[in-house]
Amino acid sequence: MPKRTDIHKILLIGSGPIVIGQGCEFDYSGTQACKALRAEGYEVALVNSNPATVMTDPATADRTYIEPMTPESLEAIIAREHPDALLPTLGGQTALNLSMELYRRGILGHYGVEMIGANAASIDRAEDRQKFKEAMLAIGLDVPRSGSAHTLAEARAIAKNIGSWPLIIRPGFTLGGTGGGIAQDAEAFDRIAQGGLDASPTSEILIEESLLGWKEFEMEVVCDRKGNAVIVCSIENLDPMGVHTGDSITVAPIQTLTDVEYQAMRDDSFAVMRAIGIATGGSNVQWAVDPKTGRRIIIEMNPRVSRSSALASKATGFPIAKIAALLAVGFTLDELRNDVTGTTPASFEPALDYVVVKAPRFAFEKFHGADDTLGTQMKSVGEAMSIGRTFKEALQKAFRSLETGRAGFGADGKDAPFESLSDEALAEALSRPTVNRLFFVRAAFRRGWSVDNVHALTAIDPYFLRHLQELALYEDEIATHERLEAFTADPECLRQAKAMGFSDRQIAHLLHTDELAVAAARRHLGVFPSYGLVDTCAGEFAAQTPYYYGTYGSPDTTCPQGHNRPPSILIIGGGPNRIGQGIEFDTCCCQAASALRALGYRVVMANSNPETVSTDPDTSDALYFEPLTLEDLVGVYEREQCIGAIVQFGGQTPLNLAQALKAAGVRILGTSPDDIDLAEDRDQFRTLADRIGILQPPSGIAHSVEDAIAIAERIGYPVLVRPSFVLGGRGMVIVRRREDLEELARQAVEIAEGKPILIDRFLENAVELDVDSVSDGQGNTVVGAILEHVEPAGVHSGDAACVTPPISLPPPILERIRAYAQAFASALHVQGLMNLQLAVREGEIYIIEVNPRGSRTVPFVSKAIGLSLAAVAARVMVGKSLAEAGLPHERHPPCFAAKESVFPFARFPGAAIALGPEMRSTGEVMGLAPTYGLAYLKSQIAAGTCLPRPDAKRNAIFLSLCDTDKEKGVEAAKKLATMGFPLYATRGTATALWAAGLRPNAVFRIGEGHPNALDLIREGAIGWVVNTAGTGADHAGDGLRIRAEALLHGLPITTVREGFLAAVEGLAEWHGGHPNTPRTLQELHGEP
């Protein structure tokens, strides 16, 4: 009796928008679960507020809800769907917390929904610190000395009891340890403890003895209802305890435990799972080991599929989420097949004959003023994984996979900041874990420091340090040849360097030549990568799934070609998630893959991001887990004998490589790299725009700070300053005064790294638009959607809230926009996707940017119109017309769709909270509703902006409007007052409201008296802070402090007038009893 037949419909909860600590790994797990459950005949209803996901593609689940992930919204869906079961363990902490809330409120009980995969009692036991500790002590495990507190006084008593510094503070029930920290003394302790209490939804913190410097390990466990359990993967952190696992460089499998120690940890991991009462599925158990004594301590366990599970799945080939979903419906491990071998059962433990390294990707450059020290709170925004035959090779590949401009573990001409430090400064840098810690380690080894010395400073295990030392010293072995000709005369040395993972770029740097020369010499000598298989069994059985990694130092293995194999197309993925490049590009890649496979092509996928659906071997016909660099991609392209490569869907990463790939003989499908570059080239683009006859903001190109000032004087302030060829508006800023320009232009020049910086006249108070269209290269262009930004121009399009169909523009303007899209597409010979950014002011349309490629709004637009634009684009790229590709004419959305972004400000105390031209959001949500106001409000709720209800306890609204916003703001305030919200306002705003007949409570400016806004927020009176200010770099003073305080207290903050107006409109409809029944995407778009 394998699967359960008493359940038919299963509700699956996704993880919502991408945030730090919760990336696209849950899109991967949820998508796998949907596929697996549907293949077994279950009906799957899915809820996720994130439109950028693959799981919300209407083809993934039977019934797809893009709705806010709140208990209220879930209850409405459950009432509609009447699912038999809820699977809470595949949508990260968000789904787990939401499921627990539904359970606690009795909603699951009321509707007769059974939680499968994990039950409420075991989730509670794993998540509640005290219950977890008791359960662990009961089975004889060692735990850190600790206590949990609900008040600061309790916290202090526990600290006294433990009696040693430092102490670690972790808040309960938060993602990635938000609000936690390490306290070295009593003063820091009070501050961090209070922050943790505030951040925890249960006002609970755990205080524990410090295990700083201990070794950290993780075991990925999968078990079934019969008690069979396996370890899918073991992971060792290169970074010692003290750095959050998500921020650590990690290695699989474990490298520094003997079998005795490993098996004891394995036994105890099973014991933990049984003590917690996990019925079925995947979970992970984290351990700390004292390197001096071997004393082992249990840190925590996650009773669900986690980020590490995605990593473990990609590292081993064992699809944890898929198996977990099937185990939840009653299968046992021995009843399921190992997909990779196709013949052996899933009840086995993968054997690895390679080394996997995961490296975190950070975005500190986006948050000026934020502390880049790594600690117990996760700060990375993404990760890259690499596979090599040895640790050295895998580490080098991981560093070049990160796309931080590094070509590997140093030796690429970018080491000066680390090598130039004095010995004292270097020792200091080594003792504090930061983003660049391993480059400091390299610098230390370059100057001859010993492994013991570096170990004493970093607590990194000597096993890893010795390899790093060998890599650092080996550079001389290459450099000593001085010239490439001398080096290639010593082919064994070249082979050795490649086997150690040195990239062509690193070798080129060490020999003062360029990458292409090294590549050519290497080819001439016949030194090519060979490709190993991720086969789960270290070669013991023949594998069915073509999942490969490149490696040197092995004899060449030829690619199985097969007769009459369909033509192969390489899709280049997006690499590690970072701000400006995330899940939306992965979704495009996946949809393109499935469209091309349906047309009979063989799809070869290359990517380095383990969280993604694109790196699920099911997504393509052949998967290459490789760094996305010229060298690595050419290797794949040639081995697979592809007929072409697609660079349009993976975001900036593949686009930046397009020209080089083309030069290396790769055929780029769709719009040519020359046309893509033409759109980026300001001079050529200006000529093109003039020819088409569209206005452009006056602009100029600067190569120096002096140029920039001269241009600004000519075109007039305010100006928009931005480096060219960057992602997510990096370094982009609005400057209103000459005094500021000098410094800001200097920064932009630095970021641009030799490329010019662009100075545009900034169009104030214009409406900004994003247009996504598809062209077939046969003269046809169809607009996917026109998105109107809610915020005025000046907010990065990735951060702006937006809505479609547009709300403020008359049809003639929209018609002209469509005509411009057609004109640009023809002029740029677009074959595939194109994104236009436009601004409309006083009836005039200005072109800001044209990108002939997929944009991050493509998945959002696809959900709004009910058709995958990426799939259409993939079809036209292989020669189909738009009509054949499924988009003969523009489709009109059946309702309003609003997009809102979510920001990681809470992770970066000290960084300014304001929207501007530099993108800083990590993820997005979608609100779908029959009216604009409701759609916008739903997007706000989905983004976690919990606007108060009129009858809530904290229902007061604090208003501080800048002068230009007062007129419209007052009208909105009147509506709020009518709904019954108490209003507080700063003096100027209060005066304006008073004049309109309202009676707000006026408050003092900060520093002028009490009560001021900070007092009110602290007292808990305020439920929503509306504080509008000009965009750009010149915000300061009260506004900044008010926003920071509101953020600390988790209050919704609105900083733009238009957002405020839209939210008020939505609130009025919502509380005015406007019907708002959730609808599935399938219903909205008229599918059965």
Residues that bind another protein (CB under 8 A): 226-228, 230, 234, 253-263, 266-267, 270, 291-294, 332-334, 343-345, 347-355, 389-391, 448, 450, 461-463, 466, 470, 473-474, 476-477, 492-493, 495-496, 532, 537-542, 553-555
Residue with the two structure tokens 């050795």? 496
**Strand order from edge to edge, sheet including 85-87:** 63-65, 43-47, 9-13, 85-87, 114-115
Element housing 281 (H / E): strand 281-289
Cβ proximity to another protein, 87 vs 537, nearer residue: 537
What is the spatial distance between Cα 931 and Cα 317, in angstroms, rounded to a whole number? 46
Cα–Cα distance for residue pair 877/834, rounded to 1 Å:
13
Phi, psi of 219 (to 5 degrees): -120, 130
DSSP-derived letter for residue 1086 is: T
**Phi/psi of residue 466, each to 5°?**
-60, -40
Helix (H) or strand (E) holding 596: helix 583-598
Tokens of 620: 């393509």
| Residue 80, number of CB atoms within 10 A of its CB | 15
Closest to another protein by CB, 145 vs 495, is: 495
What CA–CA distance (Å, rounded) separates 786 from 74? 30
d(CA 452, CA 517): 39
Nearer to another protein, 39 or 542 (CB): 542
Gap between the Cα atoms of 115 and 109, Å rounded: 10
Whole-number minimum distance, CB 288 to another protein, in Å? 14
Least distance between another protein and beta carbon 220 (Å): 14
Nearest residue (CB) to another protein, 493 versus 1044: 493
> Which of residues 491 and 909 has its CB atom nearest to another protein in the complex?
491
Residue-wise DSSP of 794-863: TS-TTTS-EEES-SS--HHHHHHHHHHHHHHHHHTT-EEEEEEEEEEETTEEEEEEEESS--TTHHHHHH
Cα atoms in the 13 Å half-sphere on the side-chain side of 132: 25
Residue 482 Cβ, how far from another protein at the closest point, in Å? 17
Q: Rounded to the nearest whole angstrom, what is the least distance from the CB of residue 541 to another protein in the complex?
A: 7
Minimum CB distance to another protein smaller for 528 or for 1004: 528
Shorter beta-carbon distance to another protein: residue 174 or 313: 313
257 vs 518 by CB, closer to another protein: 257
**CB count in 10 Å sphere of residue 1073:** 7
Smallest gap from Cβ 539 to another protein, in A, equals: 4
Question: Which of 254, 402 has the CB closer to another protein?
Answer: 254
- Tell me how far, at minimum, the Cβ of 326 lies from another protein, in Å: 16
What sign does the dihedral 309-315-316-322 (CA atoms) show?
Answer: positive
Q: Residue 204's closest CA among 130, 276, 133?
A: 130
Q: Is 348 left (phi over 0), alpha (psi -120 to 50) or beta?
A: beta
Query: C-beta of 221: minimal distance to another protein in Å?
Result: 12
Closer residue to another protein (CB): 267 or 815: 267
**Cβ distance to another protein smaller for residue 473 or 883:** 473
For another protein, the closer CB: 312 or 712: 312
What is the distance between the alpha carbons of residues 9 and 1044, in angstroms, rounded to a whole number?
Answer: 44
> Of the two residues 227 and 1050, which places its CB atom closer to another protein in the complex?
227
By the 8 A CB rule, do 929 and 895 touch?
yes
Q: What's the N-to-C CA distance of the chain in angstroms?
A: 32
Nearer to another protein, 257 or 976 (CB): 257
- Reduced 3-state DSSP string for 168-235: EEEECCCHHHCCCEEECCHHHHHHHHHHHHHHCCCCCEEEEECCCCCEEEEEEEEECCCCCEEEEEEE
In Å, the largest CA–CA distance within the chain is: 88
User: Residue 1043 phi/psi, 5° resolution?
Assistant: -65, -40
Give the residue with the Cβ less far from another protein, 288 or 825: 288
Query: Is 289 or 363 the residue whose CB approaches another protein more closely?
Result: 289
| Smallest distance from another protein to CB 191, Å | 36
Cβ atoms of 874 and 601 within 8 Å: the answer is: no
Let me know: does 1063 contact 939? Beta carbons within 8 Å: no
Using an 8 Å Cβ cutoff, are 408 and 502 in contact? yes
Contact present, 320 and 220 (Cβ < 8 Å): yes
- Minimum distance from residue 466 beta carbon to another protein (Å): 6
Shortest Å distance, C-beta 736 to another protein? 55
Shortest Cβ 290–another protein spacing (Å) = 8
Q: Please, what is the minimum distance in Å from the beta carbon of residue 291 to another protein?
A: 6
Q: Which one, 15 or 469, has the nearer CB to another protein?
A: 469
Q: By three-state DSSP, how is residue 731 classified? A: coil
DSSP β-ladder status, 9-13 and 43-47:
parallel
Closest C-alpha to 1018, from 1050, 1064, 990: 1050
Task: Please report how close the Cβ of residue 554 comes to another protein at its closest, in angstroms.
Answer: 4
State which H helix or E strand residue 897 sits in: strand 896-902
Task: Report the C-alpha gap between 55 and 63 in whole angstroms.
Answer: 11
Between 228 and 404, name the residue whose CB sits nearer to another protein: 228
Burial class (CB in 10 A: 0-12, 13-18, 19+), 789: buried
